[in-house]
Structures are given as structure tokens and as C-alpha cells.
Amino acid sequence: MDYIQESDFTVLEEGFTARGLIEKIINDASQTEERDAFLVGDMEEVVKKHLHFLKTLPRVKPFYAVKCNNFRPLVKLFAEMGTGFDCASKSEIELIKEIGVNPERIIYANPCKQISSIKFAANNGVQMMTFDNELELIKVSENHPKAKMVLRIATEDSKSFNCMNVKFGAPLNTCRHLLETAKNLNIEVIGVSFHVGSGCINPQVYAQSIEDAHLVFDMASEFRHKMRLLDIGGGFPGTVEAKICFEEVAAAVNSSLDTYFPEGCDVDIIAEPGRYYVASAFTLAVNIIGKRVLQQDPPESHGAGNGPCKSVLYYLNDGIYGTFSHLLFDFGHPKLILHKEPSPEKPLYMSSLWGPTCDAMDRIAELLYLPELCIGDWLLYNNVGAYTIVMSSTFNGFHPPHIHFAMSLKAWENVHLLKRRYDPAENAEKNDFTL
């Protein structure tokens, strides 16, 4: 097993925090000319989120969505804590297999798979995979006849920022035909999955989707499919700034599960959280590498102080083609924090923030009122753990920031308790966890 080792992280001494590590890195870098942008991943935050998930959704086993943030130390942490993994590609399956995870803990949750990838899954013992149409069933029957299929159904996701059902999900009126087709192809269907979309603001969508899944379970019984899995997907909020909180979602899920899939029904419940775990766990530190001051005609109403009328453009050493790539398509806006607390007497100026590339689209933010900053100053961004650096490129020769993974001693101890709790080989009793 290639699970986490102490060398994968900076293990923080008691009383030392991830923010303290950021300050140390900034102080060290400020003594040199190499003031590169960097990220710090606070793994204590991830462990806390995991313990909260287990407590708040006690019947649901998380299968971490690898696509959200796939860096090896983080993925190894999830493996150590006993989660399953939602993989959407051959490469993601390879990563999880390489760190020693049993393929039974993997669901290939992409309803549209290349034939070579289906064969790869078959050859590596990955059996659970999703589908939502007849042609996908035929592909699987020809290339992975021992697969255990999970029917992905469509949901009402119009209230979500990123609607999934424009691309995936079988309407309820097609499910009976798909279940019959699977039976005729001698393909085993073991359950139902759904995804309410990212940024869902209505927890009752989860409840309605669970009710719909129950209807599909009833349909499946007509064709003697042994249904034993319900996958409630992802879409869980990951920051305190989200429009709904995780507890609201959990309450709707738990109530609906009690109604349609009560305890003792012999159905395993899993979910595919990604953003929930990692969004708030990562902080980005960027340096101001350039500055441009523009004089402005006086506006009718300044609205942000009585300072001179000018605007300032700041150029940072990370941008839209790097960690901020999610600003182009995602709703999870990062939270800006000035590294140096400004004096309240300082005037504020209309400001914009730009990335380091030569592309004029590399604009991070505009219409910000900020105190005047200097070249060499640092800015911090919280909530940058989900769908950020995994989407970055090396455009213009700029490389993604280095990531420092930090973990407190208490979190480190809890990870090992989690391993003992969920690893049958450890043969240990359940433990209580605190952070």
C-alpha cells in the first residue's frame, strides 16, 4: 500500500497553523528575488470535513471526486481515511490504483467511456461504472461483460450553477427500457446514481432525486436486477460563502433516505463529494510583479473615499491560465485577503488585477477598491482548492504554483484512527475523533 507518509506533508507542531506556514514561506521568499506564487493545502481542514461528513450523513460513504483536485498527497490522504473514489477517466483510475487502493473502492462514474478505457477498467478489476443510454450498455457488454452497472438518472437541476443533465442522465420514462436492455444483454445493473449539478441552491432536489431513484429500483425488480447501491452524486457546498450550507443538504438527504431507503433495506448509499472537501482547504499566495497607474476624470460620485482620482492595474504572478482558471466557468469565487492590513486612513483606488501572461483576457478581477499597493506585496486568496490548479496550463511558459501540504499533529493522529476504524485488516474497534 502506497498510502500517506509523513514526508508527504509539513507536519505542523502544536500551536503552529497553516496560516503560520504561509507567513514563513512569504518571509523566506521576501528575502530573495524568487517571490513565486504558491499554494498551501491545509489537510487538517480536509480531515475535519471528512469527520463532519461521517457525522452528518452517517449512512453515506463518500467516494471522493478525483477530478476536483487530484494531487497525489491529497488523494493518498483520502485513501488513508478509507473513502472510495469517483474516477472519470483511465488516468484517474491509474492514479488511484498506483497508490494501492482496492478497485472495489472505485466507481467509474463517467456515463460516456472510450472502449479502450472500458477494457482498462476490466483488466484492473474496476467493476462499478455508470451508464445512461442503450449504446453505452452495448459497449460495456462487448468489452466488460462482468461490469456492475449503475444507471444514472436525470434530475431537475435548473437551480444549479453548473447543470449536469444537459449532458448526462436518463429521463425516468427511458429507464424501464434501459433496464430491460441490460437484462437482455446479460449485464448486471446494481443501482442508481444521479447528480444535482454544481452550485445547487435547493436541497429538496436531492430529496426528489432519491424518490425518483426509488421508482427506478421498483422498475429494476421487474427484470430481477439485484439492486443494492444508491449513488447520490456530488454538488455539496464547500465554503461558508455558499448560498446553502452542507447541513441543509444533509437534512434533506437523511429525511428522504429514511422514507425511501430506510435502515435495513440492504442498499449501500454512496456520494461523490469533491468541492465540499477541498474548496476551503487551500490558500493561494500571489505576488505583485508589476503596477500601472492611470489618471481618471473625476466621477460624479467616488463612493470609496476622498483620495485622488486614479485607477491602478496590478500584475500578479498567477492568473487565468493558472490557479484562477476556474473564474472562466466556475461559480466558486476565491476570497481576496490583503497580506498587509491597510491603515484605515489610506485612500482607496479603483483597482484591477491581472495575470502574468501577454493575453488581455488574463484578467482576474476589476472594479475593486483597494489601498495603493506596491510591487513585491503579497495577496492571499482563500477557497481555491476546487477546480483551480487542476485546470491550469503552461501557456506563455508560466507554470502552476508549487503546493505545500500541511497537517497538524492532531489531524495526523486522527487519520491513523480513521484507518484503524475503516480498515478491516487493523481489526480495531471504532474510535471517537476530535480536532
Give the residue numbers marked as catalytic. 358
Contacts of 404 (CB under 8 A, 6+ apart): 10, 21, 25, 38, 39, 40, 41
| Burial class of residue 73 (count of CB atoms within 10 Å of its CB; 0-12, 13-18, 19+) | middle
422 alpha carbon, distance to own chain's centre: 22
Structural contact between residues 350 and 361, judged by C-beta atoms closer than 8 angstroms:
no
